[in-house]
Amino acid sequence: MQGDNEYENVLRRFYRKSLILESPSEFHHVLCFHFIDALAHIDFSLNTLAYNYQSPRNIMNMQYMRWRIDEEKKEEYAHFGEFIRWLKSEHPDVFASLPMVWRYVYDPENHAGYRSFRIVLDPDSNKPLPPGFFIDAIEEFFDQKFLKSIYKGASLARLFDEFIAAGIS
């Protein structure tokens, strides 16, 4: 493990976050899956920057992330990327209010993505994402307005259900 570094400090900040005042069981199942998925990618990306790639923590994370890749392809979960692209064209205000990780990763006009389970904004760059990126990403996912939007029947959840019901994908 590297000495105390900026990424470890961001991890500590991340791990201090809590959903104790929320009811994740009442989140829309697809939005909750992708919320937790994005948090897992943030966690994995930070861990690979803060700890040795072969640390037990990173090895466990890799196993978990492999499982999530298969889950993401099932049922309504598979339509999430199409939903985000639909929001961009049909509801640009809602798209603009989404956490940046979702906007970057699921926007086909952007080169960002999940690569080897890490968040990569520029696949041509070998530079690690700055700690500030992760701080901003974490804050966006734990923003109260965003969290309220992913409950069943809430604004973003309702739009997703409408999207699926309309067969737009």
Q: Tens of pLDDT along 16-47?
A: 999 998 999 999 999 999 999 999 999 999 99
Measure CA 159 to chain center.
Answer: 18
pTM: 0.84
Q: Helix, strand or coil for residue 88?
A: helix
Q: Half-sphere exposure (CA, 13 Å, Cβ side) for 157?
A: 19
Q: What's the token pair of residue 133?
A: 């990126």
Residue 133 Cα distances to 8, 50, 99, angstroms: 14, 15, 12
Locate the domains of the chain by residue range. Answer: 6-12+24-122+130-165
pLDDT of residue 161: 96
- Amino acid making up residue 48: T
